[in-house]
Amino acid sequence: MHEPRKFHMEVALRVVRYLKNASGQGLFFSSNNDFRLKTYCDSNWAGYPITRRSTTGYCFFLGSSLISWRSKCQKTVSLSSAEAEYRAMTSGCCELTWLKHLL
């Protein structure tokens, strides 16, 4: 905002073009849906062979509709698969807290 450049304008135009072309897309919520929030999380212990870091993945469903998901490398090295799973659940719970506040 303080020093906009040509690159920033190009990125903003790219976002506007995407929104213009994706106007018909959206989330589908069935009329017979129960709207319960379901969460699934998992980890891949030491999935990166060089750094030995684990991968965290989680997804959230509102009824049968996927509303949020993420997969990323954990910031620290886990010494066991249980520790990697615990870190994945922690990340998922943080996102779940945010989603519950939003909904």
Type of residue found at 99 = L
Q: How far apart, in whole angstroms, are the C-alpha atoms of residue 12 and residue 93?
A: 32
pLDDT tens across 53-72, in order?
Answer: 999 999 998 888 888 999 99
pLDDT of residue 88: 92
pLDDT of residue 53: 92
pLDDT of residue 33: 66
- What is the pTM for the complete model shown? 0.65
Q: Work out the percent of the chain whose per-residue pLDDT is above 90.
A: 48
Residue 50 has pLDDT above 80, yes or no: yes
Q: How far apart, in whole angstroms, are the C-alpha atoms of residue 33 and residue 103?
A: 16
1-7 contact pairs (CB < 8 A, 24+)? none
Q: How far apart, in whole angstroms, are the C-alpha atoms of residue 33 and residue 24?
A: 22
pLDDT of residue 19: 84
Q: Work out the percent of the chain whose per-residue pLDDT is above 70.
A: 96
pLDDT tens across 16-44, in order?
Answer: 998 888 877 776 767 776 778 899 999 99
